[in-house]
Amino acid sequence: QVRLVQSGGGLVQAGGSLRLSCRTSGINFKIARMAWFRQAPGKERDFVAAISRDGTTNYTDSVKGRFTISRNNAWNTVFLQMNSLKVEDTADYYCQTTWGSLNWWGQGAQVTVSS
């Protein structure tokens, strides 16, 4: 059974930092491409960042230089370090992977950035 269990998130002032974690089970994490998405109220879920099995990363333009995606294969966990947070980063954040031709999602974590 594939599971993605998230932790982290919360309320932070603009300019602050938060770290999200996503622990996986039921997949061969070492070869899985992992990603983070976010969904602001009333908007669609959008791509934020991804990391491939070889550690190659890519980011949406709005978070480049502020967010860092990383992985720990020993822990089967992917992280999203978010620095210099802005009010517009406020959203529900979801980790995601594709395994067995299906998309799997974490339960979501609310991130609220106050001005």
> For residue 44, what are the contacts with CB-CB under 8 A and spacing of at least 6?
none
pLDDT of residue 114: 98
pLDDT on residue 90: 98
CA distances from 19 to 7, 44, 77, 101 (A): 9, 22, 12, 28
| pLDDT tens-place string over residues 31-49 | 999 999 999 999 999 999 9
Name the band, by pLDDT with cuts 50, 70 and 90, for residue 109.
Answer: very high
Q: What is the predicted pLDDT for the residue at 83?
A: 98
